[in-house]
């Protein structure tokens, strides 16, 4: 692959480039809204999260970016939340199956309801994944997604053993959410995107005050809405497939705004977690025979990852080029992690 890419934590100087990237997302991203002040706050939160004194999950938000080194432009983002809940509760709808029966009339039927769940001490979450369409090739999406799990493995004390992924719910071509139109719009004074953004930036008091306290009967919703509960946005289908292959499982919980599915996994069962290996490097200035494309990280809190040709030597070291070593800021004998991508 000719394109040189660097996966790294966001920096203060990334603000304008990040806003440009986010502005290209169709329908926006609620966890990274296209608003200068919100982005500045998100970047500041991430800078604090990487403090070396953090030793347990406390709700820190880690934001990573993917940089095209030659162009000096950001082409992707992905993030981690060390723990959902905490001071701001984490809300979901749980799909409950309720058996209703009446023997005299031989009636026996399963009735689904949506019940509001509030969690104050939840699992870790992966979030804010977006890759520019021009870069959706050659394993770059895997770099953006899987590098996070390598970071979690290297600094496991910062995260919960359980991980969730909230996937973007179905929106039609006009950006309309059938679930929001049928449910949320009846209780909130804001449009779908505004309400979801407020929740994403931690302003959640309105949910407690305005959300219905009683279960919602699914059968009473329009058929179009029923069919879209647990469905994903068309652009999110590839991300869902990557996560399912990674080892995430479907759950009976959905997002309260767009009814997007929530996936869950134990981190030790994830493919990237199990296969991410730590070795020493052997940086080579001369060409060598590669055995494939590797995802390689520098195994440091100042985290860096890239895709590169590499090979395991007979003594167990990872042979990488001097160019790859420069991207990762490592030298021969330094500790790195690797995943074989292809």
Catalytic machinery residues: 233
Give the SS3 label for residue 117. Answer: strand
**DSSP E strand stretches across 183-225:** 216-217
- Please choose, from the candidates 62, 64, 66, the residue with its C-alpha nearest in 3D space to the C-alpha of residue 81: 62
Phi, psi (rounded to 5 degrees) for 87: -65, -35
Determine the Cα–Cα distance for residues 249 and 139; give it in Å rounded to an integer: 22
Asked if residues 225 and 179 have their Cβ atoms less than 8 Å apart, the reply is yes
Please name every residue paired with 112 in a beta bridge, in sequence order, or none if there are none.
Answer: 97
- Give the CA dihedral 270, 272, 274, 279, nearest 10 degrees: -160
Determine the Cα–Cα distance for residues 254 and 116; give it in Å rounded to an integer: 10
Determine the Cα–Cα distance for residues 170 and 180; give it in Å rounded to an integer: 10
């Amino acid at each position: 692959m000719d394109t040189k890419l660097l996966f790294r934590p966001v920096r203060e100087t990334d603000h304008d480039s990040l806003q440009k990237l986010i502005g290209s997302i169709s329908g926006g991203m609620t966890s990274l809204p296209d608003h200068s002040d919100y982005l500045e706050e998100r970047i500041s939160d991430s800078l604090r999260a990487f403090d070396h004194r953090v030793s347990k999950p406390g709700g820190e938000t880690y934001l990573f970016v993917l940089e095209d080194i030659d162009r000096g432009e950001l082409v992707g983002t992905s993030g981690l939340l060390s723990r959902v809940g905490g001071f701001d509760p984490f809300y979901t709808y749980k799909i409950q199956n309720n058996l209703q029966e009446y023997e005299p009339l031989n009636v026996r039927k399963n009735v689904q309801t949506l019940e509001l769940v509030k969690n104050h001490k939840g699992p870790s979450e992966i979030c804010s994944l977006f890759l520019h369409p021009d870069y959706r090739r050659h394993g770059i999406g895997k770099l953006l997604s899987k590098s996070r799990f390598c970071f979690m493995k290297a600094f496991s004390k910062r995260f919960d053993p359980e991980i969730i992924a909230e996937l973007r719910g179905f929106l039609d071509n006009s950006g309309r959410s059938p679930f929001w139109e049928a449910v949320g719009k009846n209780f909130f004074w804001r449009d779908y995107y505004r309400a979801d953004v407020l929740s994403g930036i931690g302003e959640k008091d309105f949910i407690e005050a305005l959300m219905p306290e009683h279960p919602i009967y699914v059968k009473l919703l329009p058929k179009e809405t029923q069919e879209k509960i647990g469905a994903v946005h068309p652009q999110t289908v590839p991300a869902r497939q990557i996560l399912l292959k990674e080892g995430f499982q479907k759950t009976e919980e959905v997002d309260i705004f767009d009814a997007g599915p929530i996936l869950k996994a134990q981190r030790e069962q994830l493919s990237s977690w199990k296969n991410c290996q730590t070795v020493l490097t052997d940086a080579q200035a001369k060409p060598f025979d590669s055995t494939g494309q590797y995802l390689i990280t520098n195994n440091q809190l100042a985290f860096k990852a890239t895709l590169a040709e590499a090979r395991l030597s007979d003594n167990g070291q990872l042979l990488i080029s001097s160019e790859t070593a420069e991207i990762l800021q490592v030298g021969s004998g330094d500790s790195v992690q690797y995943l074989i991508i292809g």
